[in-house]
Amino acid sequence: MGEGEPTKTRQKTKELSTKSVVPKSVTFPATIPPMETAIKIHGEGGARIMLDVAEINLGAFLPAVAFRGKRILVTFIQARK
């Protein structure tokens, strides 16, 4: 191993860890909390929705973090209990 090898390896690892792979889709159970502020319609012509994800479902939810800042398509389907 040459003198520059560890630096190259660290640089490659850093590149891989900073590139987020956006999955094709993410599905997870969630609820819209029963509070008035869970759905906000604001005067700028938009809306914001809050979702609660149970701790047991966090593994299914975590890939959704890769969508942060991206335009997404949202479909609501009532889940079976």
Q: What value does the mean pLDDT take over residues 52-80?
A: 94
Q: What does the mean pLDDT of the chain come to?
A: 83
Each residue of 41-55: pLDDT tens digit? 988 889 999 999 999
Interatomic CA distance for residues 80 and 60, integer angstroms: 17
Which residues are CB-neighbours of 29 under 8 A, at least 6 positions away? 53, 54, 57, 60, 79
With cut-offs at 50, 70 and 90, classify the pLDDT of residue 16: very low
Better-predicted residue by pLDDT, 15 or 31:
31
Which of 1-5, 6-10, 14-18, 50-54 is the least confident region? 14-18
Indicate the SS3 state at residue 13.
Answer: helix
